[in-house]
Amino acid sequence: MNQIPKCWAVVPAAGVGKRMQADRPKQYLPLAGKTVIEHTLNRLLQSGAFQAVAVAISIEDPYWPELAVSKHRHLITAAGGKERADSVLSALKSLRGQAAEDDWVLVHDAARPCLTASDIHLQIDTLKDDAVGGILALSSHDTLKHVDGDTITATVDRKHIWRALTPQMFKYGMLRDALQQTEGNPAITDEASALELLGFQPKIVEGRPDNIKITRPEDLALAQFYMEQQT
Ligand SMILES: Nc1ccn([C@@H]2O[C@H](COP(=O)(O)OP(=O)(O)OP(=O)(O)O)[C@@H](O)[C@H]2O)c(=O)n1
Ligand SMILES: C[C@](O)(CO)[C@H](O)COP(=O)(O)O
């Protein structure tokens, strides 16, 4: 009998957060009484969707061992890499021997602490029988322009342009192989772009607009607001 594919989470959390201009990597900034990364990991762990969560942490990170969640029994720590894709590949390799080739992996940014269990289950329920997998994404409610420097060169059809979020959900073996084959390619800024480069066509699942990535200083207050709205 075919084994029901299991789901694993991978969390790239080895960035330095340059654009945040803070005194520490943004995943360790305080937000609603915890650090950003604690919110993200708690939401993944409490969703009940995952066998385990593999987190890629910078080898120079002094903050991680101080967090109680770093000792969670369903959490695996891997060494982060130079780029986000390297960190994801490292976390995937830490699941070797545990994740089966056809198990699902959901890759979710540590910097996205407002993810809801409803979006996790929506994505899994929508994509669990798909041959490739796909990503949470947001449509645009604004007119979109193609720009060259400070000059508009075209107005683009907004129905064809969506903003990629995370989690990004792919089969363990397919994602590992795609990231290994595209290693070092600067165009690979998310998991879907690696699969696309190899000719696959991932699906999109419309996600919640409050699943923001904390990138710039003003994003922290917005995340706080969204968290207050979610409770
Ligand atoms: N070498 C890297 C770079 C990024 N990330 C992670 O990938 C996620 C999304 O990346 P981004 O928002 O770009 O984070 P940073 O790279 O930290 O931000 P910046 O580009 O401003 O330095 C973050 O959770 C970040 O910790 C990672 O694990 N390893
Ligand atoms: C993966 C991602 O969250 C999709 O939007 C995003 O690309 C990661 O952030 P970065 O600034 O591109 O590293």
Q: Express each pLDDT in 78-113 by its tens digit.
A: 999 999 999 999 999 999 999 999 999 999 999 999
Q: Ligand 2 centroid to 2 CA: how many Å?
A: 35
> Of ligand 2's atoms, which has the minimum distance to the CA of residue 164?
5
The pLDDT of residue 231: 76
Q: Ligand 1 centroid to 134 CA: how many Å?
A: 20
Q: How far is CA 99 from CA 8, 59, 103, 110, in A?
A: 7, 24, 6, 21
In tens, the pLDDT along 118-177 reads: 999 999 999 999 999 999 999 999 999 999 999 999 999 999 999 999 999 999 999 999
The pLDDT of residue 156: 97
Report which protein residue has its CA nearest ligand 2's atom 3.
Answer: 165
Residue from 61, 63, 84, 88 whose mutation best tests the ligand 1 pocket (most atoms within 8 A of CB): 84
CA-closest candidate to residue 208, choices 111, 114, 131, 143: 114
Report which protein residue has its CA nearest ligand 1's atom 19.
Answer: 17
Predicted model pTM? 0.98
Pocket of ligand 1 (CB under 6 A): 12-19, 27, 56, 80-84, 87, 109-111, 213, 215
Q: How far apart are CA 53 and CA 77, in angstroms?
A: 9
In this structure, the strands spanning 163-171 and 133-138 are antiparallel
